[in-house]
Chains A and B, each alone.
Chain A
Amino acid sequence: MSLFRVGKRIQGIRFGFLSPKEIRSMSATKIITADTYDDDGFPIDMGLMDSRLGVIEPGLRCKTCGQKVDECPGHFGHIDLAMPVIHVGYVRHVKRLLQSTCRACGRILMDAARIRGMMEELKESSDYGAVDSENTLRETAKGTSTATICPYCGEEQVRITLDKPTTFREGGHKLTPKEVRERLERIPNEDLEALGMNPEVARPEWLILTALPVPPVTVRPSITLESGDRSEDDLTHKLVDVLRINQRLRENRDAGTPQLIVEDLWELLQYHITTYFDNQTSGIPPARHRSGRPLKTLAQRLKGKEGRFRSNLSGKRVNFSARTVISPDPLLSINEVGIPVEVAMELTVPVRVNQYNVGYVRELVMKGSSTWPGANYVIRPDGPRLKITDRNKQLISDNLDFGWVVERHLVENDVVLFNRQPSLHRMSMMAHLVRVMPGKTFRMNLPVCPPYNADFDGDEMNLHALQSEEARAEAKILMLVQEHIRSPRFGGPVIGAIHDHITGAFLLTHKLTRFTKDEAFTLLSGLAIDLELPPAAGRDKFDREFWTGKQLFSMIIPRDIHLTYKASVCVHCDKCVKERCDVEVGVDAWVDIRSGQLLTGTIDEMGIGAFKGQILDKIVRDRGALAGRQFIDNLTRLAIGTMMLRGFTTGIDDEDIPESARNEIQDVMDAAEREVDKLVQTYRAGNLTPHPGRSIEETLEVLAMRELGKARDGAGQIAGRQMGLTNFAVIMAKSGARGSMLNLSQMAGCIGQQAVRGERISRGYADRTLPHFSWGDRGARAKGFVRSSYKNGLKPTEFFFHSMGGREGLVDTAVRTSRSGYMQRRLINALEDLKVKYDGTVRNTSDVIIQFRYGDDGVDPTRSVQGEAVDLDDIFRQVIGYAPEVGDRRDLGLSFASFDSDLLSPEEDFDVPEVGTE
């Protein structure tokens, strides 16, 4: 415990202002000349690059502290200003101070009793934590805003206004910073507390600058270009301006130049100092570089996403990382990532030499840094880090001894972190095992695309090589992909089959598909399973043994998995006939898995898909992450194998429908348009009865939308009738692999009503949407109904309406992402250091209890069943068991399923020669 004791605890922080005295006393030198370097390139004494301000050139020593580059932190200098200048960052405070104090005697414009009352209130609230001093000042200023006469000296007060950004006026008369400073000086120390200031560290007149600190050169280093020219930092440029004008102002003032000219110069100095602090001050033009680029001054260095806080303190650049384009490799495990040899030779892992690995490590060193697998550096126990080159590798390898550290290349099965931005949840950064392979991209298996939200249209991802044994162990146990198959967001899988995997599983398992022994072996040969082929399901008309797809699929399910659910091909009958679904309804949607045997049902998105896969979910829950991973790896290979065996393609002709169906759709459209016209007529005649809570116009819109919606659905149904499960596009839509029946009916039938803000399109020209229509037309076509299909093509007006609807979608996504991004940022910043402790409480960093039991029930949502702590149905099933006659019979599926799978068993029609069977 004492190992991790905190050495010092911060008890409090006090903020104050720098007084001119402090500025001068912390200064290493006064800066008087605007010049930086002399002709020989040496810094000029008392110039902006004075060598007492720190060192930026290697080899030199600091004149103030005598240290070298990187040791010397740099030292401040200062500029004595010829005339005082207001600090832009504090104008609001200065304004309040001026407004709440007397112009003559400097006392607060309140009687003593009221001040005392306020102070007491303040003291009371300070018992409960820090006092907001800004708020104190604001309150006092509010309390004095009505005072017209000073209660102490009787002086009549004049209203003070601020002319942004830095000019104060008293009833039209301009106050110079000097006058302002004199007034602030008059405020007595006793009154300051009521103004939210502590006179020891913050006298109000210090808000008006008489000396300007000059930051060390280390803060504003000059850079030498290849041409040998020096280029100065923006801050230095700005300080040069300040010094120049300061010098001119002093000369003019001392020479007794007319007041007007002095005031002009004074204002110019104010401008330069203002922009030196913040070059985006509103009300004044930003100071620009010669090229026209605005200068980056102090505030710009700190502010915003690219500022010091967000980009250098909250976030940092790292070593041992790589980034490149990603591409798919279905033969990798989901735990793996394929990395290019070039990356493997650049990223290293430190290995400490010991008696067991000397031989191996020597070999790596002898390979050198340019052959994989080799090593790039060795670190001697006494410190130095040696680069391994072809010339010294023999020497290094000979000298290698216990305790040395060798930085070897990444090799197979090293643990690395893999990440894709935006990193929105913990699955955005997972640990993978390395597979080094040729090519220049990172390779990943497709089931891990959903958690990263990755696709392969040019996405790039980052990879980090872990550097310590602890980090690797932790990553492997906690962050490995297989540990993230189930999401903590909703207690279901996020990693699972996508696209072709689902189509493939559908083709394999829908109804009864037949595979010869050859085909079965072809499919199973790629899987990591150690099972005998089960007894054949039967013999075909050539008397060849065949196996069903369901049998093959059952081989990758762990033996003790029991599960029933409805597949996504389910048509939602009023009364479910369960296992007789295939025979009676003809869709084979009732999935029944007993003892790991798929008896009935089709495996589709509901079974194995990412986000929805029930089988997947069950396997991970019951058998653990490893079994889940093996299932996904086997499943994807089996599914893709099936697709390659059967063949699968889709094209625009999948949406071809016969002439008769097209005519039927046209009839539906015509009828709907007539119906809408009729509605409009009723409306015009004033006979439309309004719906409760709606105007007559709104009622018309609702009825028209409903009518046209029905028409589109009708068209979709007519088109859908022409496209059965023999249609590849339909297979994808119904199995949940990609696309929807709506997409298909929009291609084949009718696109339907276009909407902007949830309403029919209503704006554009005066009283009409487009000049193609007559004024006041409320018919279907004039209000954005697209009766064409994507396949037949849109009419010009339809195309325009469609673009309007489409644009709204684009704008919505753009707005949504930025808004939700900011919302999430705020949430994360608020909750980032909360932690569930071992006693089940949620606490923050100071061990304050936030929640007495995590989530009230202490359930880890990752291990929950759709958010519930226990799956009661499943427990009942386990306790009660199955009907005894069902038992563990593998051939059970045969008794329920029909054999008329039309498309899916083509080999019946071909005489397939037997190859390679006994």
Chain B
Amino acid sequence: MESVRNQRVKGSNPFRPVESGTSVNPVAVKGARGRPVTFRLMDHMLVPEHELLSEDEENELLSAYKVDKSQLPKILRSDPCIRALEVEHGIIEQGRIVRVIRESETSGRSVAFRVVVEG
């Protein structure tokens, strides 16, 4: 289990620079004076890292926590982060699991898992 839990937080620096050409699917928002600002969603400091689990990893996770997929927290397929992952991995079906790694006030780094649901 430790292998799943203790992995380096890739985006732990809140001021990490926008890496060019890595992630796709830019998001446009209204910036100052109504000018559109484009940025890559997954690089934003407020968006935690999302990684898609392989089938082996999924099984490892489910047996480690002794749960089935219905007992995991959920994330909508329409969530922008899932859509961003789809650019890399192709269509992500309902029932796949993503690893969400965020910075935590108490532990420095916290790992959570979410199962993708329709919607």
Given B65, B110, B117, B118, which contacts A849 in the complex, CB threshold below 8 Å? B65
- For A841, the chain B residues whose CB sits under 8 A away are 65
A851 to B114, CA, bound (A): 11
- Known: A128-B117, A841-B65, A847-B71. Contact between A852 and B106, CB under 8 A? no
Looking at chain B's contact residues, is the secondary structure mostly helix, strand, loop, or mixed?
loop
Using an 8 Å CB-CB cutoff, how does the interface string of B49-69 with A read, 1 for contact, 0 for none? 000000000000000011100
Q: How far is the CB of A29 from chain B (nearest CB, A)?
A: 49
Counting residue pairs across A and B whose Cβ atoms lie within 8 Å, the total is: 41
Using an 8 Å CB-CB cutoff, how does the interface string of A113-150 with B read, 1 for contact, 0 for none? 00000000000000110000000000000000000000
Could you tell me if A856 and B118 are in contact, using CB atoms closer than 8 angstroms?
Answer: no
A846 touches B (CB below 8 Å): yes
Q: How far is the CB of B100 from chain A (nearest CB, A)?
A: 10
- Known: A849-B72, A850-B73. Contact between A855 and B106, CB under 8 A? yes
- Known: A128-B119, A846-B71, A850-B73. Contact between A857 and B106, CB under 8 A? yes
Q: How far is the CB of B22 from chain A (nearest CB, A)?
A: 27
Q: How far is the CB of A722 from chain B (nearest CB, A)?
A: 48
- For A857, the chain B residues whose CB sits under 8 A away are 104, 106-107
B46 touches A (CB below 8 Å): no
Using an 8 Å CB-CB cutoff, how does the interface string of B96-118 with A read, 1 for contact, 0 for none? 00000000111100111100011
Q: How far is the CB of A835 from chain B (nearest CB, A)?
A: 14
A461 touches B (CB below 8 Å): no
- For B113, the chain A residues whose CB sits under 8 A away are 852
A40 touches B (CB below 8 Å): no
Given B105, B112, B119, which contacts A852 in the complex, CB threshold below 8 Å? B112
Which of B66, B104, B105, B107: most chain A CB closer than 10 A? B107
Q: How far is the CB of B2 from chain A (nearest CB, A)?
A: 13
- For A127, the chain B residues whose CB sits under 8 A away are 118
A847 to B73, CA, bound (A): 11
A850 to B71, CA, bound (A): 9
Could you tell me if B119 and A853 are in contact, using CB atoms closer than 8 angstroms?
Answer: no
A839 touches B (CB below 8 Å): yes
A843 to B112, CA, bound (A): 13
Q: How far is the CB of B13 from chain A (nearest CB, A)?
A: 19
Those of B57-96 within 8 Å (CB) of chain A: 65-67, 70-73
A105 touches B (CB below 8 Å): no
Q: How far is the CB of B54 from chain A (nearest CB, A)?
A: 19
Residue of A with least CB distance to B113: A852
- For A856, the chain B residues whose CB sits under 8 A away are 104-107, 110
Could you tell me if B106 and A839 are in contact, using CB atoms closer than 8 angstroms?
Answer: no
A853 to B104, CA, bound (A): 12
Could you tell me if B67 and A849 are in contact, using CB atoms closer than 8 angstroms?
Answer: yes
Those of A853-887 within 8 Å (CB) of chain B: 853, 855-859
A846 to B67, CA, bound (A): 11
Residue of A with least CB distance to B107: A857
A851 to B117, CA, bound (A): 18
Q: How far is the CB of B26 from chain A (nearest CB, A)?
A: 30
Q: How far is the CB of A855 from chain B (nearest CB, A)?
A: 5
Using an 8 Å CB-CB cutoff, how does the interface string of A814-858 with B read, 1 for contact, 0 for none? 000000000000000000000000010101001111111101111
Q: How many of chain B's residues have a CB under 8 angstroms from any CB in A?
A: 18
- For A847, the chain B residues whose CB sits under 8 A away are 67, 71
- For A128, the chain B residues whose CB sits under 8 A away are 117-119
A42 to B53, CA, bound (A): 76
Residue of A with least CB distance to B104: A856
- Known: A128-B117, A128-B118. Contact between A853 and B107, CB under 8 A? yes
A858 to B5, CA, bound (A): 13
- Known: A128-B117, A128-B119, A857-B104. Contact between A852 and B71, CB under 8 A? no
Could you tell me if B110 and A852 are in contact, using CB atoms closer than 8 angstroms?
Answer: yes
- For B71, the chain A residues whose CB sits under 8 A away are 843, 846-849
A783 to B62, CA, bound (A): 69
- For B118, the chain A residues whose CB sits under 8 A away are 127-128
| Contact-residue size bin, chain A (C-beta under 8 Å from the other chain) | 10 to 19
Could you tell me if A852 and B111 are in contact, using CB atoms closer than 8 angstroms?
Answer: yes
A128 to B110, CA, bound (A): 28
A849 to B119, CA, bound (A): 21
Which of B65, B106, B111: most chain A CB closer than 10 A? B106
Looking at chain A's contact residues, is the secondary structure mostly helix, strand, loop, or mixed?
loop
Q: How far is the CB of A833 from chain B (nearest CB, A)?
A: 15
A881 to B22, CA, bound (A): 52
Q: How far is the CB of B65 from chain A (nearest CB, A)?
A: 6
- For A843, the chain B residues whose CB sits under 8 A away are 71
Residue of A with least CB distance to B73: A849
Q: How far is the CB of B32 from chain A (nearest CB, A)?
A: 22
Residue of A with least CB distance to B110: A856
Q: How far is the CB of A870 from chain B (nearest CB, A)?
A: 13
Residue of B with least CB distance to A868: B106
Using an 8 Å CB-CB cutoff, how does the interface string of A244-257 with B read, 1 for contact, 0 for none? 00000000000000
A857 to B106, CA, bound (A): 6
Residue of B with least CB distance to A125: B119
- For B106, the chain A residues whose CB sits under 8 A away are 855-857, 859
Q: How far is the CB of A859 from chain B (nearest CB, A)?
A: 7
Q: How far is the CB of B58 from chain A (nearest CB, A)?
A: 14
Residue of B with least CB distance to A857: B107
A542 to B61, CA, bound (A): 79
A614 to B23, CA, bound (A): 51
Q: How far is the CB of B9 from chain A (nearest CB, A)?
A: 13
A128 to B78, CA, bound (A): 14
- For B104, the chain A residues whose CB sits under 8 A away are 856-857
A841 to B72, CA, bound (A): 11
A846 to B65, CA, bound (A): 14
Q: How far is the CB of B6 from chain A (nearest CB, A)?
A: 12
Q: How far is the CB of A491 from chain B (nearest CB, A)?
A: 12
A849 to B70, CA, bound (A): 10
A847 to B71, CA, bound (A): 6
Q: How far is the CB of A146 from chain B (nearest CB, A)?
A: 30
A309 to B111, CA, bound (A): 40
Residue of B with least CB distance to A858: B107
A850 to B65, CA, bound (A): 12
Q: How far is the CB of A680 from chain B (nearest CB, A)?
A: 43
Could you tell me if B67 and A853 are in contact, using CB atoms closer than 8 angstroms?
Answer: no
A456 to B67, CA, bound (A): 51
A684 to B72, CA, bound (A): 68
A858 to B109, CA, bound (A): 12
A855 to B72, CA, bound (A): 17
Q: How far is the CB of A251 from chain B (nearest CB, A)?
A: 61
Q: How far is the CB of B16 from chain A (nearest CB, A)?
A: 21
- For B72, the chain A residues whose CB sits under 8 A away are 848-849
A859 to B107, CA, bound (A): 9
- For A846, the chain B residues whose CB sits under 8 A away are 71
Which of B65, B73, B119: most chain A CB closer than 10 A? B65
Q: How far is the CB of B105 from chain A (nearest CB, A)?
A: 8
- For B70, the chain A residues whose CB sits under 8 A away are 848
A841 to B66, CA, bound (A): 11
Using an 8 Å CB-CB cutoff, how does the interface string of B32-51 with A read, 1 for contact, 0 for none? 00000000000000000000
A850 to B73, CA, bound (A): 7
Which of A847, A848, A850, A852: most chain B CB closer than 10 A? A852
Residue of B with least CB distance to A846: B71
Q: How far is the CB of A641 from chain B (nearest CB, A)?
A: 43
Q: How far is the CB of A1 from chain B (nearest CB, A)?
A: 14
- For B111, the chain A residues whose CB sits under 8 A away are 852
Q: How far is the CB of A852 from chain B (nearest CB, A)?
A: 5
B residues whose Cβ falls under 8 Å from a Cβ of A: 65-67, 70-73, 104-107, 110-113, 117-119
Given A839-B66, A841-B65, 5 other A-B contacts at CB below 8 A? A839-B65, A852-B113, A855-B107, A856-B106, A856-B107
A residues whose Cβ falls under 8 Å from a Cβ of B: 127-128, 839, 841, 843, 846-853, 855-859
Contact sample, A vs B, 17 pairs, CB 8 Å cutoff: A128-B118, A847-B67, A849-B67, A849-B71, A849-B73, A850-B73, A852-B110, A852-B111, A853-B110, A855-B107, A856-B104, A856-B105, A856-B107, A857-B104, A857-B106, A857-B107, A859-B106
A-B interface, 6 closest residue pairs, ranked by CB to CB distance from nearest = A857-B107, A856-B104, A856-B107, A856-B110, A857-B106, A856-B106
